[in-house]
Each structure stands twice: as structure tokens, then as C-alpha cells.
Homo-oligomer: A and B are copies of this chain.
Amino acid sequence: MSLLTVGSVAFDALETPFGKTDKIIGGAATYITLSASYFTKGNNLVAVVGGDFPKEMIGLLEDHGVDTEGLEIVADGKTFFWSGRYHEDMNTRDTLETQLNVMEHFDPTIPESYQTTEYLMLGNTVPATQKLVIERMAKRPKLVMLDTMNLWMDIAMDDLKAVLKLVDVLTINDEEARQLSGEYSLRKAAKVIMAMGPQTLIIKKGEHGALLFQADRIFFAPALPLEEVFDPTGAGDSFAGGFIGYLASTDDISFDNMKRAIIYGSAMASFCVEKFGTERLINLTQEEIKERVQQFVNLSSFEIV
């Protein structure tokens, strides 16, 4: 089945304890579509960039099977830019600069050919924009997944709550789950959040794995302990892309298949952090993904006798 991803395509400048980059390609939708491209064939993108966005990068997305008809190019505008510096522990970072540029007036247009896409991934952006996208689809997708962040809980909670009523799967991190629910226990937080709309909740815990909640069911997916985390940028989006890409490719949204999808998503995130930016995501092979998923199986399987 086809997938539509809506979100940012951007320039990032990163500093980690391992070095720093000039402006490189980033943005939630970039990581999501690249990651999903290893699973699903119909991979549609709605985003906006400025005239400064390199044609080669659009070509690279297309080489990965991403349909860029929905990628709006504002010729006299500048692409969204974010720069940040990671701390020694790689789990926390400071934003050094944010230039919204063309994202400030992003008014997503869904091309005709995308209107009946079955799987919809709303990358982290303004909640009101995410809601507009759902309303602009000719047909309600089979599955709508949304990523968000603490910023929107601080400045646009009402809009966020309005869009949450319309989605099937929400993905946030543990601190955000606590903020959104007002509960410290993640199990209690999950109940509160699922009552806000999403039937399925994924709580991402970075190096500590991820939790999948749906009604009374819980699944805990481990993260692969890595020798080195080189650059965590995009890990959450690579995870989301692998998750929904796998669901779309199998067209099975049962809880058991979501468990598998989380493992594939976790595998994609584990690749992402091995190099700067999207570098590791653009040259993966199916064989590497298969081997990585087998590492997750080895990591977490046991038998009670």
C-alpha cells in the first residue's frame, strides 16, 4: 500500500562530540521517507523547500522511489534551517538556531494522485497544519500516524489535542508522554493519552528502547546497544519511517504486525545514528536490514521452560 508523509525537509547544521557539519540535508520528512523507502514502493511526500534546496537531493529522494510531486519549491524562499549541539551523553541537545523560512507559511497541498493514500504519516510540525492535512484527504486513510514534540505542548496544546482526536497512532518520547498526560508512570500516562484519541501509542525511550501500547496490551522493544552513537539526529524519524513503511508494505495493522514494525523501525533508527545526518540511510541494503533485525531477535529472545 502507498504511504504519504507530510513534514519538514530542511537543512541542519550539527555539532556532536565527534565533529561538526556544514549545512546538510535534514528534516523529519526526509528521514521518514528515506527510511520507509526500504519497505514500501508508493512513497509520497508533501513538504516545502526554498529555491536554495539542491536539485541533487530531490534526485536522491526520487532514486529511493519517493514521489516528489507534492514537494513545493518556493523559488524565492529559503529552506527551513535548524542547527544544534549535542551534549557528551548524546541524549540531550541545545538548539543553536532555528530559521523557519518557507515553513512559516506552509500550507500543504495534497496532489490529486495522493488523495487516496492508505497510510498517512504526519511528521513533527505545527499541529494545526497536521490537522489540515487529514481534512484535505479525499478519503480518510486506513492508518494515520502522528509525531509531535514538547514545543507544541507548550505553545499549542489545544490544537494538538484537536488533531489527536483524529489519529490512530501517536509517537512521542517518554518525557513528552509525561508532559502530555501529567502522569509520571508511563503505564498510567499511556491510558490518559489513548483516551485523547489515538488507539495506539508508541513511547520512544532512545537508548532504552520503545513501548507500544494498545488497549490493555503492551510490547517492549529493546534498542540495540551500540558501540558508538555518532549522531542521533533523525533517529526518531527513521524509526517512524521504518514502522509505518513496514505496516504499509504488509498492509496489516494487527497488534502482532505492529510489534514487528517496531523492530524494523528500531533497526532503521540504529542505522541512522551510525553516521552524520542521512548518510547511513541512503546506502542500506536489504541484506543489512535483515541482519540487523536478526540482531534484535538475538538480543531479546528467551524461552521459559
Chain A positions within 8 Å of B, measured between CB atoms, are 88-90, 184-188, 205, 208-209, 211, 217-222, 225-229, 256, 259-260, 262-263, 293-294, 297-305
Contact = CB atoms under 8 A, between A and B. Distances in A.
Contacts of A229: 185
A261 to B, nearest CB: 10
B303 A300 contact: no
Contact of A205 (B208, B221, B263): B208
**3 closest Cβ contacts across the A-B interface?**
A220-B222, A208-B208, A259-B302
B260 A305 contact: yes
A263 B304 contact: yes
Give how many copies assemble into the complex: 2
A89 B229 CA distance: 27
Nearest to A290: B304
13 contacts: A89-B184, A185-B227, A187-B225, A205-B208, A209-B222, A211-B225, A219-B302, A220-B300, A222-B222, A260-B305, A262-B302, A263-B302, A300-B302
Contacts of A209: 208-209, 220, 222
A187 B224 CA distance: 10
Contacts of A218: 225, 298-299
Given A185-B227, A185-B228, A221-B302, 11 more contacts: A89-B184, A185-B229, A187-B226, A211-B225, A222-B222, A222-B300, A260-B304, A260-B305, A262-B302, A263-B302, A293-B304
